[in-house]
Amino acid sequence: MNRFRLSRFKEKSVQTRFAVLLSGKMIGIGALLGGIKLFSYLLDTPAGAAPMQTVAHKAGDFVSPVNTIWVLVTAFLVFFMQAGFMALEAGFARSRESVNIMMECIFDTCLCGLLYFAFGFAFQFGLGNGLIGHSFFFLHGMTASYTYGGLFDTKVAFLAFFLFQFAFADTASTVTSGAMVGRTSFKGDILYSICVSGFIYPIFGHWVWGPGGWLGNTMGWFHSLSPHAVFRDFAGSTVVHTVGGFIALAGAIALGPRLGRTFKRDGGGPTAPHDVNIAAIGGVILWFGWYGFNPGSTLSGMDWVGIGRVAANTTLAACAGGMIAVLFVYPRSKKWDVGMSINGFLGGLVAITCPCYWVSPAGAIMLGAVAGIIVPLGIDLLEHFRIDDPIGAVAVHGFAGIWGTLSLGLFATGQYGLPTPDGADNKTLVVKGLFFGGGMDQLKAQFIGSLTCVVIVTGVALIIMFAIKQLPGSWNLRLERDLELEGIDITEHGLPAYHMEFGQGFSYTTYTGKAVGETSEVVQPTKETV
Amino acid sequence: MNRFRLSRFKEKSVQTRFAVLLSGKMIGIGALLGGIKLFSYLLDTPAGAAPMQTVAHKAGDFVSPVNTIWVLVTAFLVFFMQAGFMALEAGFARSRESVNIMMECIFDTCLCGLLYFAFGFAFQFGLGNGLIGHSFFFLHGMTASYTYGGLFDTKVAFLAFFLFQFAFADTASTVTSGAMVGRTSFKGDILYSICVSGFIYPIFGHWVWGPGGWLGNTMGWFHSLSPHAVFRDFAGSTVVHTVGGFIALAGAIALGPRLGRTFKRDGGGPTAPHDVNIAAIGGVILWFGWYGFNPGSTLSGMDWVGIGRVAANTTLAACAGGMIAVLFVYPRSKKWDVGMSINGFLGGLVAITCPCYWVSPAGAIMLGAVAGIIVPLGIDLLEHFRIDDPIGAVAVHGFAGIWGTLSLGLFATGQYGLPTPDGADNKTLVVKGLFFGGGMDQLKAQFIGSLTCVVIVTGVALIIMFAIKQLPGSWNLRLERDLELEGIDITEHGLPAYHMEFGQGFSYTTYTGKAVGETSEVVQPTKETV
Amino acid sequence: MNRFRLSRFKEKSVQTRFAVLLSGKMIGIGALLGGIKLFSYLLDTPAGAAPMQTVAHKAGDFVSPVNTIWVLVTAFLVFFMQAGFMALEAGFARSRESVNIMMECIFDTCLCGLLYFAFGFAFQFGLGNGLIGHSFFFLHGMTASYTYGGLFDTKVAFLAFFLFQFAFADTASTVTSGAMVGRTSFKGDILYSICVSGFIYPIFGHWVWGPGGWLGNTMGWFHSLSPHAVFRDFAGSTVVHTVGGFIALAGAIALGPRLGRTFKRDGGGPTAPHDVNIAAIGGVILWFGWYGFNPGSTLSGMDWVGIGRVAANTTLAACAGGMIAVLFVYPRSKKWDVGMSINGFLGGLVAITCPCYWVSPAGAIMLGAVAGIIVPLGIDLLEHFRIDDPIGAVAVHGFAGIWGTLSLGLFATGQYGLPTPDGADNKTLVVKGLFFGGGMDQLKAQFIGSLTCVVIVTGVALIIMFAIKQLPGSWNLRLERDLELEGIDITEHGLPAYHMEFGQGFSYTTYTGKAVGETSEVVQPTKETV
């Protein structure tokens, strides 16, 4: 039998069939093995080091990279706040003035960059006297790392430091535009922006943060009033936000309200936000950007405990501000006010900006909560005085900025000093507030600094704004009446913000739930548009 | 001749002419030289180091800065996911309910921050027992770096660690709100959010990630079922996404569908997304934020190979999920479904979240592709059961979260262990899945962990949601019928999402390509609106 | 008397009264102390290190973590540019074609990721010859860090390097889609995207950046024309932007204009942007993402001076481009053109991308300013040739990319060489341009590289685009006429971008300031809509 079967292999047809079967099997096995091979090939991840060059590093080699990376990443975040401001301001504004907001933010950023390069940075961070710096014009004479005018090495790349500070200057400039939305001529905007980005912000900034600045070092003429403490502003509640907010106030006063804007005591009220969604997203972008603003202000990634504390304090103050603002206005309106929640957390963020390094998380919550009450009250105050601030910039940046600055004198725990390029220095120059047994020293210094800012910056800004309001024609700060009536976006920029194609890219539904289509003549309800 | 000419210099007029010419030439040369000088001055960039202070560093000084910077930057990205959720949810929802979405995300973030500070963090990361932590209430007793309850130094600043974990808690809370859009009363939202952010998420999180948590350490009662492996969830497919997704499911069941929402088997279907653009951008923001979520979960920048692998795996799983979801639904609808592409890549991202550290790129693609099929099937399943989930949160976070968790037991290559503050430890605690010869051990552990989550979290959430649904009036989980009909944005928040000014900030064009203007009475076609 | 009073304590009522008073006082004091205790408990922030494990680190341990963190963070930013492109393109486009833009960006990203994993990365960064790489298919054979085909250790995690390069490939792919908006069939989009992401970009990229690539190493056949310098493109003015821009041009030529699009010389003009706000925000997101694109291209955080310089140069070029573009078109139109400001700063960013490492801040401003003139002229040129580029991709990426590439040969200061994983190498391979006494060498090399790109890439792209245009039915590059007329969003993707609910989520106001409501029949003015 066996033999018989084997003998059958001599037959042609059997051989063929066998060959086919065998080939099939082999292909199958091959495919299986191949598949397994491919599978393991695809999934295989061999990892092994291949160090080719050898460079002997010392530990000190890493300080500047770590600090520069930290400052750059946070500078990027601060820059990104521009997108947040654009979305927030446009969303809170009317649709007819939102293109103007976009354009101002972009143009002012470009302007600020060039001015800051030419002389803004020199005024603020150049070595000079207590009032103004005068080196580094056009960034001339810069060194590898920025050294505070040759006094102290930050161990941060000079141009990374420059970028970080530019992003701050740009923020101050943008805050200003917030209260002046919808009625400022574009040429007027250019003029005041030059003053803000090129002069007011950098010069006041020099007083607090510049090498030898009088507020940050000696308190100048006020030394005898505050002999034991100097003005401290970690990330700019005063330098950026009070400055920006009070220039905004001066601008809003000089401009007067937008045409058609009536106030509560006259039976009117604020204009409706034209896009709540984009405003809210913009607010969150700002919160995100604040993680550059505050933690980056250590200028040092080596102070790892400090950057963690600053970031957490920033968060908690924002949370408290956002929640308290909503709960504060709810009993009055019986509405859960989304605009107030946004301005509330922004107020908390502004407030924590000054004391973020020196307070505890619980302190951050308390001072953020207070900011959450200040913001709605501040908005009411401006409404009462018939000042048209379409996005609440004065209350959020101006008033919460003052509160934040003062709060350092109350909540500083006395445990923290200053960040250094090599780590925290919590031994010298420790800040202690009233509630922690530090007495009135720091509070007095904060009060002097904040008051100086409000008085001088507002004064100068009022002069500038009213001066620009005297200029003729299109250079006047205020857009001409006809152009404003026709719509600032159309008259200044030539186009409206939105242009929809009905039925193809855009459709809507009526109250009754039916979709609205359109015939050749008039809009009429139909079953389905698209 | 020569002499004659020279003598002419004695003449006054010649002298004058010569002087003028000479001055001109000199000014010209001077201007040229000055221009060159100015040019080189402007373009010159001298760079030289100016090291002033000298601090002697040891190599070990850099571990905590590197890890803290990494954790902070990734925490910022995770926080930024809020903007992504807001945009995605609002875009997918109807315009009438988008203000409510904004408000919930903001308010819940504020609430979560304060609760997490007060006790959420303590429950999750405090030292306690296998079920709950009970130290660090109000962050009391915190140390410079977080040390897992004193057991193991993360070499990450305590408050940076806190911030990172807060951002995770906030994500879980926001995922929940996704399936409950449009019919949840705001007071009801506050109540369930307190339960989610303050209790359910942190306590379940303790089980997996907390010091001594039973699922992450011993498998507790189930130790005998899984003696060789413990439950692993690198960045939270289960802890964040399954938790969030199944609470969302419980909420959607308790609430019932929105008024007017009909289902496919009843001849209806999902409501149209009101703004596809913002939804898509929101989806990409989420993808961007996921680069914080997953790579940051190493808690260690020192594990440089690990963070690179996690980031690449995250990307590839998203790519596979997005593509497969689209290709999977295309034959059915013959449409390239943009909503499905977004939910597909989100499903891939959710799935890779658990195994991202332990699989290869090819494994990531495979498991992401499977997620791209699970998501559309999951959406169909909810539609079949008449559960109204306006943005697909249950399918994307709940179902893909389960799959991702299980997939670790299949795809783990057996090459990787755990990140440590000082670098990767790929020797102890290596994870190997079924497909790589690791047998069923890890898969069993994953199954136990995932099932525990689904059963317990869904059970607790159902009890809470139905309990809140028993509350009277405005505290009831479900918005009153009249208020929902009138529109949740208007009745709860007092304003619609959009308010356009026709003709000035907003215009539209008809089918026929003509622009629609408006006269004093009715809307009629005109040539050009603006 | 004294005694009498004391004796009264024996009376019951007096005792009781005393006890009550005492208890009250004690409770008060206790509450006060407790409050103080609670207050200090809440505010207390003890900080102290708790180092448990001890790992002895060497300084060299930090190079790879620092570089990998830097590359990853910047890769995330580059990826985020997708959100910017989506917002920018959709905002500039018509509402009827914006869903298509969203879908293309998402789908192409997914596609690009998978192709780049499979072979794109292998072609570009695998070791091979001067024309193409052929290792690392499916990432097979990867090492811990990427080593330029085994030649030079980048000290960046392999997969972090992969992710960074994927994000670049994705950008090139997205740039392409910009000029093809609104009339490309989705299947056609898939086909050409495969060619771009999988072949054209990676192979050309290999020539410049790949190990042994001919343009970046020897100049190949053109060596004798440029014996002293090789083609340099720091971050991709040519490799990403000229490539993307000229493929876009080829696509726009092959497609022809959108139906109904007329050109200026025919009495028409560009279509109106449908959402200026989202376009502007998208532009700023792109600027933000560029901080990943350029500074990340050092592939080294250790070159801390270099990353600072690149970041600052990037900023200043953008500022100059944005401002000059606006000022350049203002005299013509008397409008402050927001679209031009965006395309202007994008042009500046594209231009600085090639030379960002080698020029000074003042040089960056000058070359950015020139880009700000090239962009509007380029847009006019395409309008003149009746090429429909809805978002200006060809001018911004193509033309400004050429200029930026050439500008290196003019503005390179001769101070900088190349970044290395361990810091800057400013001694070997220093680049010096014409204006700084470097002669024509570098300019010639740049010219050769840029011309090669334009000729070869455009040629190949034209062949591919016209070939796809020969395909039948839905595979044809151009969408069928009927489908385009009906609207690409609706016919390809099944839904319009926007669907509003009038009166509840959406309202509008007429010219006269009155709100428009609606009755059951037609739209009529009413006092208040909501």
pLDDT digits (tens, 9 = 90+) for A449-475: 999 999 999 999 999 999 999 999 999
What does each of the 530 residues of chain C score in pLDDT, given as a tens digit?
Answer: 455 555 665 667 666 776 667 676 666 666 666 655 555 554 444 444 444 567 889 999 999 999 999 999 999 999 999 999 999 999 999 999 999 999 999 999 999 999 999 999 999 999 999 999 999 999 999 999 999 878 889 999 999 999 999 999 999 999 999 999 999 999 999 999 999 999 999 999 999 999 999 999 999 999 999 999 999 999 999 999 999 999 999 999 999 999 999 999 999 999 999 999 999 999 999 999 999 999 999 999 999 999 999 999 999 999 999 999 999 999 999 999 999 999 999 999 999 999 999 999 999 999 999 999 999 999 999 999 999 999 999 999 999 999 999 999 999 999 999 999 999 999 988 999 999 999 999 999 999 999 999 999 999 999 999 999 999 999 999 999 999 999 999 999 999 999 988 777 777 765 444 444 433 333 333 333 33
Question: Is C184 an interface residue toward B (CB < 8 Å)?
Answer: no
Interval A247-254 mean pLDDT: 97
Question: Which chain A residues touch C341 with a CB distance below 8 Å?
Answer: 103, 106-107, 110
Exposure class string for A62-97: b at 16+ Cβ within 10 A, else e: bbbbbbbbbbbbbbbbbbbbbbbbbbbbbbbbbbbb
Amino acid identity for residue C192 in this structure: Y
- A window 482-521, beta carbon within 8 A of B: 486-487, 489-490, 495-504, 506, 513, 518, 520-521
Interval A389-404 mean pLDDT: 97
Q: What pLDDT band is residue B110 in, cutting at 50, 70 and 90?
A: very high
Question: Is C262 an interface residue toward B (CB < 8 Å)?
Answer: no
- What whole-number distance in Å separates Cα of residue B349 and Cα of residue C223? 47
Burial tier of C26 (Cβ tally within 10 Å: 0-12, 13-18, 19+): exposed
**Chain B adjacent subunits, 3+ CB pairs under 8 A:** A, C
Q: What pLDDT band is residue B526 in, cutting at 50, 70 and 90?
A: very low
Interval A235-258 mean pLDDT: 97
Q: Would you say C326 and C344 are in contact if contact means Cβ atoms under 8 Å apart?
A: yes
pLDDT at position B15 is 67
pLDDT digits (tens, 9 = 90+) for B77-96: 999 999 999 999 999 999 99
Interval B339-345 mean pLDDT: 98
Of residues C508 and B260, which shows the higher confidence score?
B260
Q: Is the pLDDT of residue B321 over 90?
A: yes
The widest CA-to-CA distance across chain C, in whole angstroms, is 122
pLDDT digits (tens, 9 = 90+) for C20-61: 676 766 666 666 666 555 555 544 444 444 445 678 899 999
pLDDT at position B512 is 45
Q: Is the pLDDT of residue A266 over 70?
A: yes
Yes or no, beta carbons of B304 and C109 under 8 Å apart = no
DSSP C267-327: T--PPPPSBHHHHHHHHHHHHHHHHHHTGGGG--SS-HHHHHHHHHHHHHHHHHHHHHHHH
DSSP A195-225: HIIIIIHHHHHHHHHSTT-HHHHT-GGGGGT
- C window 15-54, beta carbon within 8 A of A: 39, 42-45, 47
Q: Would you say B274 and B91 are in contact if contact means Cβ atoms under 8 Å apart?
A: yes
pLDDT digits (tens, 9 = 90+) for A47-101: 444 445 678 899 999 999 999 999 999 999 999 999 999 999 999 999 999 999 9
pLDDT at position A10 is 63
Of the candidates C225, C297, C235, C245, which has an alpha carbon nearest to the alpha carbon of residue C447?
C225
pLDDT at position A522 is 32
pLDDT at position B515 is 44
Q: Is the pLDDT of residue B249 over 70?
A: yes
CA B124 and chain centroid, separation: 20
Of the candidates C107, C273, C338, C245, which has an alpha carbon nearest to the alpha carbon of residue A107?
C338
> Model pTM?
0.90
The Cα of C1 is separated from the nearest Cα of chain B by a number of Å equal to: 54
- The two tokens of residue B102 are 């904004």
Return mean pLDDT, chain A. 90
Q: Would you say C502 and C522 are in contact if contact means Cβ atoms under 8 Å apart?
A: no
- From A94, A152, A319, residue closest to B52, measured CB to CB: A152
Best of B64, B76, B145, B304 to disrupt the C interface (most C CBs within 10 Å) is B304
Of residues A416 and C21, which shows the higher confidence score?
A416
pLDDT at position B516 is 43
Question: Which chain C residues touch B335 with a CB distance below 8 Å?
Answer: 492-494
- What whole-number distance in Å separates Cα of residue C257 and Cα of residue C184? 11
- What whole-number distance in Å separates Cα of residue A182 and Cα of residue A177? 10
Question: Is B462 an interface residue toward C (CB < 8 Å)?
Answer: no
What ipTM did this prediction achieve?
0.89
Q: How far lies B500's CA from each of A348, B385, B452, C480, C504, in Å?
A: 30, 38, 50, 34, 13
Yes or no, beta carbons of B66 and C69 under 8 Å apart = yes
Q: Is the pLDDT of residue B223 over 50?
A: yes
pLDDT at position B239 is 98
Amino acid identity for residue C260 in this structure: G
Question: Is C55 an interface residue toward A (CB < 8 Å)?
Answer: no
Exposure class string for B391-413: b at 16+ Cβ within 10 A, else e: bbbbbbbbbbbbbbbbbbbbbbb
What's the sign of the alpha-carbon dihedral A284, A285, A286, A288? positive
- What whole-number distance in Å separates Cα of residue C104 and Cα of residue C478? 15
pLDDT digits (tens, 9 = 90+) for B200-218: 999 999 999 999 999 999 9
Residues in contact with C21: Cβ distance below 8 Å, sequence separation at least 6, in sequence order: none
Total Cβ atoms within 10 A of residue B377: 12
Yes or no, beta carbons of A335 and B499 under 8 Å apart = no
pLDDT at position C25 is 66
Residues in contact with B55: Cβ distance below 8 Å, sequence separation at least 6, in sequence order: A60, A63, A422
- From C102, C109, C158, residue closest to B276, measured CB to CB: C102
pLDDT at position C530 is 32
Interval A418-425 mean pLDDT: 96
- A window 76-135, beta carbon within 8 A of C: 76, 79-80, 82-83, 86-87, 90, 98-99, 102-103, 105-107, 109-114, 117
Which is it for strands C523-525 and A423-425: parallel, antiparallel or unpaired?
unpaired
- The two tokens of residue A268 are 């009117």
User: For residue A283, what is the nearest residue in chain B, using CA coordinates?
Assistant: B83
The Cα of A206 is separated from the nearest Cα of chain C by a number of Å equal to: 21
**Chain A adjacent subunits, 3+ CB pairs under 8 A:** B, C
- What whole-number distance in Å separates Cα of residue A211 and Cα of residue A129? 8
Interval B432-454 mean pLDDT: 96
